[in-house]
Structure 1
Amino acid sequence: MKTCASCHNPDTYWIDQKTTADGIALHHRNTPSMENVWYLEGKLFHDGRAMTYREQIAEAINSAIEMGGNTAALSAKLQAIPGYLSLYEAAYSSQTMSVEGLLDAIAAYSRSISSGETALDRFIKGDYQALNDAQLEGLHLFRTKGKCIDCHNGAFFTDLDFHNLGYAVTSKVALDNGRFEATGLETDKGKFRTPGLRNVVHTAPYLQNGSIASLSELINLLSQGMPKNQDNRSMAPYRRIFKTSD
């Protein structure tokens, strides 16, 4: 069975640096970073289909294409590992491991994963030398002409909403219905949650399909209206001129 860390590697900013997640079987979506995931409760996964951490973690464990495990067998397996039982007892005052307790423990750990302070944080606090001239120009464009801040706003640079940028395809250029898979609403087809931008320079490749290799490539595509994918194949069936709200 795969583990959480198989894809969410703490040494590489909680991603696997692969186009799509390397699970038990072929996966069609990119591994998102776990930094600041506590902020996403109610909108977990790229399409927001999980409302709680327990639900999200259980689905990942039981998924035939992700971890290929079985939450029903989890307690017995972990209880047999030396040291786990004493840790569980210290946390829950019980020697009987429950699936609910184990899922809650993973959720508690997930909520502890936070990004560190950045130069922008120091700038906002009043250290106006923290950003150089190029960074200040980028901040200005981010907030004005680029309109990036329309969706990437707040402390973690995400409006926590779902948008269709006209790139609702898998890495194999098959249609990905996105948010529609969670809600069944036609208006949600092709929508994905706005990703946060903390440590974004370290979390390539980008987009839900992992098809964009660099930030410069992604910014160019956004500025052009997301007309084509990296293999230069027409995206006409899915095209939607980029805008900042739906």
Structure 2
Amino acid sequence: MLGSRLATLILLIGVTPIVARDAVESRTPPEKISLAALGARLFTDPSLSKGGKTACSSCHMPSRSFTDGRARSIGDSGIQTRRNTPTLLSVSRRATYFWDGAEAEFQAAVQRPLFDPDEMGNVSADALVVRIRLAEDYESDFARAFGSPEITLTRIGEALAAYIRDIDEASRHAAAAEKPSLTSQQLAGRRIFSGKAGCGMCHAGPALTDEAFHNTGLAMPGEAAADTGRFSVTGDPSDAGRFRTPSLRAVASTAPYMHNGAFADLDMVIRLYERGGGSPWVRDQAEEADPVARNMASVSPLLAPFVLTEDERNALIAFLKKL
């Protein structure tokens, strides 16, 4: 256990051991632990949530490439959130964070879910810090990681950020070291990815994302649960319905897909793009006159219909599964 201590009690008079109430206890100095090790403990601790039921790892499961397998995540209140849980692989070097780019700084992004009422639900930093202080051995672990036992929100965020960076870097190194050879089918899929299907226009670079926001035609204006995406951050009507381009790292194990988890498998995603994206619409003149609704009902000009044979579609899926 990360919070365990090594302690040695030596009670000697001459050479005869005895037990005494007022004996002097001698302890070995506590070993240092890394910030990432402390972050790993915090990451799996439901004490970080208001109700004590939800840990970071409840939605970001290591066994699912740090996603949860749900269309949309379940918060500490037991209520389904608005959006799909994205993988934490490739996140530490992003330009902005979350599907709508709500944060531009990594540590702020790490702390944000702690206070989101739909996620971990904390209402104040003070209440969160008190719960962690009351948990067994955390002061010892903070002392071993930071050099002093003070527990603060900033330190909690630093430890969580260190852990997420650690898993991100480890996965990058593993991917670079593996250098998998591709079968003829996967090579064909790579050509389709970069060519006919146009996936590489947005899914490019080491993290397989252009760091931009696009409307794929899945945001329907006028619905009760309509998600305006990037517009909710910028207030710019042209951003309505736009969502971040997700990384495709480990994409085979991060289903379901899209910001709302609408598609259960990669075949469904590819067929969406074959059609040139979704088919949103404005329902009446009022929506037509509303720039937010009108932009939500549009589709990125980068999405043009294309046709794949069944063999080509299977080849593209085979390549995606190697990413």
Q: Is 1:195 matched up with 2:246?
A: yes
The 1:51/1:72 distance shift into structure 2, 3 A limit, reads farther
From the superposition, tell whether residues 144 and 223 of structure 1 become closer, same or farther in structure 2 (CA, over 3 Å): same
Say if 2:143 and 2:149, in contact at 8 Å, map to a contact too. yes
2: CA distance between counterparts of 1:141 and 1:173? 38
Quote how far apart the aligned CAs of 1:64 are: 1.3
Whether 1:236 aligns to 2:281 is yes
Deviation at 1:175, TM superposition (A): 2.3
Q: CA 1:218–1:112 in structure 2 vs 1: closer, same or farther (change >3 Å)?
A: same
For structure 1, list consecutive stretches of 5 or more residues without a partner in the other structure. 124-129, 229-234
Query: In structure 2, how many angstroms separate the alpha carbons of the residues matched to 1:161 and 1:121?
Result: 28
Which entry has the higher C-alpha Rg, 1 or 2?
2
User: Percent identity over the alignment?
Assistant: 33
CA drift of 1:37 comes to: 1.2
Match of 2:278 among 208, 227, 234: 227
Cα distance in 1 for partners of 2:182, 2:120 equals 42
In structure 2, what residue type is equivalent to 1:51?
A: A
- The equivalent of 2:190 in structure 1 is 139
Closer/same/farther in 2, CA of residues 15 and 156 from structure 1, 3 Å limit: same
Residue 101, structure 1, aligned to residue 155, structure 2: yes
Residue 126 of structure 1 is matched in structure 2 by: none
In 2, the alpha carbon distance for the partners of 1:65 and 1:37 equals: 21
Please list, as runs of the form range in 1=range in 2, the aligned pairs for 1:94-173 lying within 5 A after superposition.
94-114=148-168, 115=171, 117-118=174-175, 122=179, 130-169=181-220
RMSD: 2.3
Q: Which amino acid aligns with 1:74?
A: L
Instruction: Work out whether residues 151 and 194 of structure 1, in 8 Å CA contact, stay in contact via their aligned partners in 2.
Output: yes
Deviation at 1:121, TM superposition (A): 6.3
The one-character-per-residue Cα deviations of 1:178-228 (angstroms, maximum 9, x if unpaired) are: 011111111111111110111101100000000111101100111111235
Candidates 127, 144, 163, aligned match of 1:90: 144
Task: Decide whether the 8 Å contact of 1:88 with 1:97 is kept in 2.
Answer: yes
Q: What's the counterpart of residue 11 of structure 1?
A: 63
Call closer, same or farther: CA 1:120–1:134 in 2, change over 3 Å.
farther
Instruction: Tell me if 1:177 matches 2:234.
Output: no
**1:43 corresponds to 2:96:** yes
CA distance in 1, matches of 2:131, 2:85: 26
Q: State which drifts further: 25-34 or 51-60.
A: 51-60
Note if 1:216 corresponds to 2:267.
Answer: yes
Q: How many residues are matched?
A: 231
TM-score (norm 2): 0.66
Q: Distance in 2 between matches of 1:209 and 1:198?
A: 19
8 A Cα contact 2:215 2:298, kept in partner: no
Which 5+ residue runs of structure 2 have no aligned equivalent? Answer: 1-50, 283-296, 305-323
8 Å contact 2:214–2:300 — kept in the other structure?
Answer: no
- The whole-number CA distance in structure 2 between the counterparts of 1:101 and 1:244 is 43
Distance change >3 Å, CA 218–CA 242, structure 1 → 2: farther
Give distance in 1, aligned partners of 2:298 and 2:269: 15
Distance 1:120 1:154, change over 3 A: farther
2:216, 2:278 within 8 Å by CA — same for their partners in 1?
no
CA contact (8 A) 1:148 1:244 kept: no
Q: Give the 3 Å change call, closer, same or farther, for CA 21–14 of structure 1 in structure 2.
A: same
Q: Is the 8 A contact 1:120 1:131 kept in 2?
A: no
CA distance in 2, matches of 1:35, 1:71: 27
